[in-house]
Structure 1
């Protein structure tokens, strides 16, 4: 057991991974809903500061049509400003073939597609059925793999849907299996409206394992709508998941799911992981300072409890 000022006491948990890779989504998922456009230079500085804090995966932007997400209309300008960062993976979201073309043209090495486990959300988000959306993504994933890119598949509404309610496990497993079969290297299981509980998380991971989806291909992406994000993360870690999505300062939500509150805050996640003796490579002090700085740029305090606690100690 260890403990110092500004850091949790470390008590190693049993049956947990030795290290967790944090997939930082703040610059993309965190900022995409901001009503006022954040200057490109601020976004680039945000990414640089996140990388300097020790985060090794920082989702940079999205090559979606500017009409749908105006905040990310500067992807072509932003990506070259950060693409030379050493030792940092900079995945980008690509919604279709055109998005992939744009990403390839700028030298992106990792891309992500965004699918839904439910028909209602697929219709709201993509104006397609689940199967139509998967059919659209398949050639994108195939071509990305042919170009040597690493591909992540986001799957939203894995636990609950605002229109359909609880989502059957078999329904989620079916879509996950399709994404794996088409060539996705990693699947991020999204609790888009934050309704999951630890038992639900454990049940889904068990079903996925039974369907032949390896746990080392899985990541989790929890929202904290009902205050369950950290508990759900711990349940996932206990089942062998080693990649967790989070957003610096707790930024973000979902434009197509109005009940969704912010993502799990990276600082809150790091506090828990370090307390469990799990390595992240992240300097919590530098990360907290980055989120305080970003909150100042946005003109409001960070919703992260850890950011507030540590910044008030200064």
Structure 2
């Protein structure tokens, strides 16, 4: 290891030269907190993430406060960070009303959240898969008419706590529907963290076969069974260049008691830098930011890299 606290870069063949990290800690991470984080703290968190070199930071969700009270301050938060130079600030929009709220504040990147399984669609969206897609279609169309970039999240791509293993064709159907309605990119979610590398590659191959190109695909892995980095490497080998991650490993899965949450951005950056892949991220600044947020949340960061680098500084 170098004196700067970075791994020695040893490139591996067949991997992309650069990866875009889609940072989800400020939204997906903080929405899982028991108590709402003060708006100024959220804004400072996003600013510090941007200062570390992250250029895509999902800021908040324009969902009804009744459903996600931790993000009830979306209208107050977004203007505090919307002028960050060179940073895309996607926001989640569950319906037409949420989109209108986001557009009114100048949002240029939005995301809709679909499910590959009926059970999760019912539990999370209170609709069937087809009903939820029907709701999203006019939302995506209106967003595209407004010149906004649209991401489509697909949850439960690999396993569902009620239905078990999810058939690949089921995932492909939802992905193609989102693409057909106009989504610019897709994020494949391993919501309960059960995927393994072969499973990841099989799904990616199938998506290519049904007309979804690799360059519009991002991956979103949870580390419930310690597979997130292995699954990410498999996706990189297939050509995926967008990886979702959460600073400090913030966030978790409410459906698996042993869940350890989102892939930590620092752990991802450590691996990518070790492979010689460019990210534009300063690992030291990012680690300091996650340590800062962990102090405000009153608990240590679950990120192994944050813990390792913090220990070395002591």
The answer to whether TM tops 0.5 is yes
| Partner residue in 1 for 2:263 | 264
SS at the partner of 2:292? helix
Does residue 211 in structure 1 map to residue 241 in structure 2?
A: no
Say if 2:192 and 2:255, in contact at 8 Å, map to a contact too. no
Shift of 1:259: 6.0
Say if 2:116 and 2:170, in contact at 8 Å, map to a contact too. yes
| Partner residue in 1 for 2:176 | 177
Distance 1:65 1:256, change over 3 A: farther
| Partner residue in 1 for 2:135 | 136
SS at the partner of 2:80? helix
Say if 1:117 and 1:171, in contact at 8 Å, map to a contact too. yes
CA distance in 1, matches of 2:268, 2:215: 19
| Partner residue in 1 for 2:41 | 42
CA distance in 2, matches of 1:225, 1:309: 20
SS at the partner of 1:31? helix
| Partner residue in 2 for 1:299 | 298
CA distance in 2, matches of 1:69, 1:204: 31
1:159-174 aligned at under 5 Å gives the runs 159-174=158-173
Say if 1:192 and 1:260, in contact at 8 Å, map to a contact too. no
Does residue 62 in structure 1 map to residue 67 in structure 2?
A: no
Does residue 196 in structure 1 map to residue 207 in structure 2?
A: no
| Partner residue in 2 for 1:310 | 309
Distance 1:259 1:310, change over 3 A: closer
CA distance in 1, matches of 2:253, 2:76: 24
| Partner residue in 1 for 2:246 | 247
TM-score normalised by the chain length of structure 2:
0.98
- Structure 1 stretches of 4+ with a deviation exceeding 4 A read 255-260
Say if 1:63 and 1:95, in contact at 8 Å, map to a contact too. yes
CA distance in 2, matches of 1:26, 1:59: 7
Distance 1:114 1:260, change over 3 A: farther
Shift of 1:261: 3.2
TM-score normalised by the chain length of structure 1:
0.98
CA distance in 2, matches of 1:65, 1:35: 17
Does residue 277 in structure 1 map to residue 276 in structure 2?
A: yes
CA distance in 2, matches of 1:257, 1:143: 36
Shift of 1:203: 0.3
SS at the partner of 1:32? helix
- How large is the RMSD of aligned CA atoms in angstroms? 1.1
Shift of 1:4: 3.9
